Amino acid sequence: MSARHEPVDKILASGGDLGRIASELEHVPQAFPRRVNADPEQVERGLAQLVLTLVELLRQLMERQALRRMELNTLTDDEIEQMGETFMKLEQRMQELKEHFDFEDRDLNLNLGPLGNLL
């Protein structure tokens, strides 16, 4: 092993559509602390990005918790139906808002440290 490896030297094995992974590298600068763009023209979009990211984080956390409770059989059929409808509507609404602000999933991504990325 020597220093100054070319990136390809560090790929031990790979397969499939590597473009899916490579395209994320364009967003590497987002690993640095996120800031709201204060440009008046952009501030609404920047705030929307921040808010939607947090909403998506909470939505996913709540859904995972609900699935876990389903697995443990601690939810009644009515509760499952009610939660399912809520999560479905929330997901659909999020989709509409992403389209409205022209965001892709990766625009709402967050690095959660040891938990990995949000999306």
Stretch that binds another protein, among 39-47, 61-69, 96-104 (CB under 8 A): 61-69
Q: What span, in angstroms and rounded, lies between the C-alpha atoms of 83 and 30? A: 33
Stretch that binds another protein, among 12-20, 35-43, 47-55, 96-104 (CB under 8 A): 12-20
Give 36's Cβ-side CA count (13 Å radius): 14
DSSP secondary-structure letter at 34?
P
**Length of the chain counted residue by residue:** 119
Closer to another protein by Cβ: residue 41 or 96: 96
* Residue 4 touches another protein, criterion: CB under 8 A: yes
Stretch that binds another protein, among 34-42, 43-51, 81-89, 96-104 (CB under 8 A): 81-89
* Residue 40 touches another protein, criterion: CB under 8 A: no
